Amino acid sequence: MLDLTELSFYGSEFDRAAHLRSKINDSQIESNSKNLIVWRGKILIDQNNFNLVYLKSNHPIISHSKISPIFLGQLSEVNYFAHDISNWVPEDLNPDIKLDYFDQTIQNHPDLPINQNFNDLRFIMTQLSVLEAGLASTAKALFSWHHNNNFCSRCGNKSISTQSGWQRDCDKCKLSQYPRTDPVVIMLVTQGNNILLGRSPQWPEKMYSCLAGFIEPGETLEAAVAREVQEETNIDVTHVKYVISQPWAFPSSLMFGCMARATTHEITIDHNELEDAKWVSKDLLVKAYAGHDVDITPARQGTIAEFLIRNWVKGTLTYRE
């Protein structure tokens, strides 16, 4: 039996209430609402309990927002909104820090208590409740889409946010655009008592994970799994099986977790895609999970890759399910 609580962003509890997106007004933002705050993709949390921080709509830091708030949905008649204050520049911000992959820095706004900070969602995702992980993930993905789609893709005119942040419209050519989601396959490739794992050069030392890649236009999940594994490692696979999915707002993917059986063994690495790839035994992974230094660390907890690896090691993920 798969324990879905191990998978971050899975099973969000709030009602997205799409029927209200064209009806939300300022008074609804101000009353009976909770407002979460995003800064350059980071989420405002309380470091004391790792809960999201919700501010009143008239809080001073919200004045930094240059993007219309997004209506995320409802729970128990409470409206949830997200505000982006990316225009704020911290006085002590190091210009050399890249605020993207594996950024472990935190930022504190001077108008907030010292325990309320902006954190990279990757590093707090397993500490958030199911509800708050879903809210934060949705907000991060939507604001990323808005920042990258300020102009109409048809005529180049400035577009505007509509439908409470779930649509952008062009006043000139009347084109409407909607948040995109990029489908990605991520696969646990098995061969007997071994699985095929790879690593990218920007990952933490010793970390290995499942192979993954974007699904191309006109391609099935099964075909994408076979193509990506073959391209990256020259391994052929068969018996592709879908397992579970995970929304992944870094920036806008939906990960389709799959299993596949390898029919070949010799690895040839595409170094444009991977730094390394190798077969890893279940016994070695058991030792890794037990904390032994075996020169390999599985993917980060909460990710779909780690979910697939851990459940395969435990024997709760097999082809007989």
Tell me, what CATH number does 275's domain have?
Answer: 3.90.79.10
Residues 6+ apart with CB under 8 A from 292: none
Residues 71 and 123 in one domain: yes
Domain assignment of residue 105, yes or no? yes
Instruction: Give the largest Cα separation in the chain, rounded.
Output: 63
- Over the stretch 38-69, which tens digit does the pLDDT of each residue have? 999 999 999 999 999 999 988 999 988 888 99
Structure tokens, 202: 């920007």
* Alpha carbon distance 266, 271 (integer Å): 16
Average pLDDT over residues 154-182: 97
Can you tell me whether residue 312 is helix, strand or coil? Answer: helix
Query: What confidence score (pLDDT) does residue 259 get?
Result: 97
In a domain, 321, yes or no: no
Residue 303 inside a domain? The answer is: yes
Residue % of the chain over a pLDDT of 70:
95
- pTM for this one? 0.93
Q: What is the pLDDT of residues 259-313, one digit of tens each?
A: 999 999 999 999 999 999 999 999 999 999 999 999 999 999 999 999 999 999 9
Tens-digit pLDDT profile for residues 189-223: 999 999 999 999 988 899 999 999 999 999 999 99
Are 153 and 260 members of one domain? no
**Per-residue pLDDT at 96:** 66
Over range 174-183, report the average pLDDT.
97
Residue 54 lies in a domain: yes
Evaluate whether 207 touches 199 at the Cβ level (below 8 Å): yes
Judge if 46 and 111 occupy the same domain. Answer: yes
CA dist 205 and 227 (Å) reads: 27
Q: 10 Å Cβ neighbour count for 216?
A: 11
pLDDT (0 to 100) of residue 250: 93
Residue 99 has pLDDT above 70, yes or no: no
**Is the pLDDT confidence value at 98 over 70?**
no
- Provide the residue count of the chain: 321
Q: 32 pLDDT band (50/70/90 cuts)? A: confident
Q: Which tokens go with 234?
A: 């020259």
Are residue 42 and residue 83 in the same domain, yes or no? yes
- 53 and 134 inside one domain: yes
| Domain extent for 167 | 149-179
Could you tell me if 62 and 127 lie in one domain? yes
Asked if the structure places residue 87 within a domain, the reply is yes
Torsion sign (Cα): 95, 96, 99, 102: negative
pLDDT band at 320 (very low <50, low <70, confident <90, very high): low
What value does the mean pLDDT of the chain take?
93
pLDDT band at 321 (very low <50, low <70, confident <90, very high): very low
Structural domains counted in the chain: 3
* Core vs surface per residue 103-126: b (16+ CB within 10 A) or e: beeebbbeebeeebbbbbbbebbb
User: Has residue 319 got a pLDDT over 70?
Assistant: no
Residues 160 and 119 in one domain: no
156 and 122 belong to one structural domain: no
> Is there a single domain that holds both residue 195 and residue 133?
no
Lowest average pLDDT, out of 101-110, 137-146, 296-305, goes to 101-110
Distance CA 126, CA 168 (A): 32
**Listed residue (177, 174, 179) closest to 140, CA to CA:** 179
Compute the average pLDDT of residues 145-153. Answer: 96
Same domain, 9 and 82: yes
Say yes or no: 83 and 112 in one domain. Answer: yes
Residue 320 lies in a domain: no
Last residue of a domain, one of 123, 145, 167: 145
Mean pLDDT of 166-191: 97
* Residues 94, 272: Cα–Cα separation, whole Å: 30
Q: Clarify whether residues 192 and 127 are in a common domain.
A: no
In a domain, 319, yes or no: no
Q: What is the mean pLDDT of residues 72-78?
A: 93
